[in-house]
A and B are shown apart, each in its own frame.
Chain A
Amino acid sequence: NAGVTQTPKFRILKIGQSMTLQCAQDMNHNYMYWYRQDPGMGLKLIYYSVGAGITDKGEVPNGYNVSRSTTEDFPLRLELAAPSQTSVYFCASSYSSYNSPLHFGNGTRLTVT
């Protein structure tokens, strides 16, 4: 079972560049999430989706965009990268709502210089 797959694992961007972080899950989960992890700050929710075509902002959405055209895929788009977006990004999915554990991808380490 692949679970949640994130690509790339590492990326270095220059200020002002754009990129898309890919996330795919093969568990037929409706709920998907993007979190960022900064040192000593825990994980903060960027965007989430409750199904294909439905997305909403989380706690720290500025500078990011998402789309959910299929159940499997939930890409995260960074426009005009800034040093403040240097972080580790985790995609996650869950079977149900508040009572289900999240299944996480292995993360993407992004550096913006």
Chain B
Amino acid sequence: AQKVTQAQTEISVVEKEDVTLDCVYETRDTTYYLFWYKQPPSGELVFLIRRNSFDEQNEISGRYSWNFQKSTSSFNFTITASQVVDSAVYFCALSINAGGTSYGKLTFGQGTILTVHP
């Protein structure tokens, strides 16, 4: 069975601080994708990034960066110079291939509530 663990339930920072959200996953499948989603206070779920299990390159998009390490089964998310608009719940999720039988089902972590204070 798959499992995704987000160690931090809640994080509170002051604007312009850097913050890292941790994500650890478990799967026996060797072919999988990892995702991060953002859920702002308005409630919708917004896709941020995906990373496949064969690509361990880190990625940077503006103030956002992601660090994928297969050796530690982690896919951490860092926000640099945080802003109030970054306040949201962030979810890490895992989708396995399972020989083509998983049908895109996502296993979610429990989410990290990030609050950025002005």
**Contact assessment for B111 and A40 in the assembled complex, using a CB-CB cutoff below 8 Å:** yes
Chain A residues, Cβ within 8 Å of B35:
101
**Contact assessment for B103 and A43 in the assembled complex, using a CB-CB cutoff below 8 Å:** no
Chain A residues, Cβ within 8 Å of B100:
97
Interface residue ranges, A against B (CB under 8 Å): 31, 33, 35, 40-45, 48, 50, 56, 58, 88, 90, 92, 94, 96-104, 106-107
Number of B interface residues, CB 8 Å? 27
Chain A residues, Cβ within 8 Å of B45:
90, 92, 102, 104
CB distance from A5 to the nearest CB of B (A): 12
Q: Is B118 an interface residue (CB 8 A)?
A: no
Chain A residues, Cβ within 8 Å of B25:
none
Given the complex of chains A and B, what is the CA–CA distance between A48 and B45 in angstroms? Answer: 18
Which has the most chain B C-beta neighbours within 10 Å: A33, A40, A92, A98?
Answer: A98
Contact of B105 among A45, A96, A103 (CB under 8 A): A45
**Contact assessment for B32 and A98 in the assembled complex, using a CB-CB cutoff below 8 Å:** yes
**Contact assessment for B104 and A43 in the assembled complex, using a CB-CB cutoff below 8 Å:** no
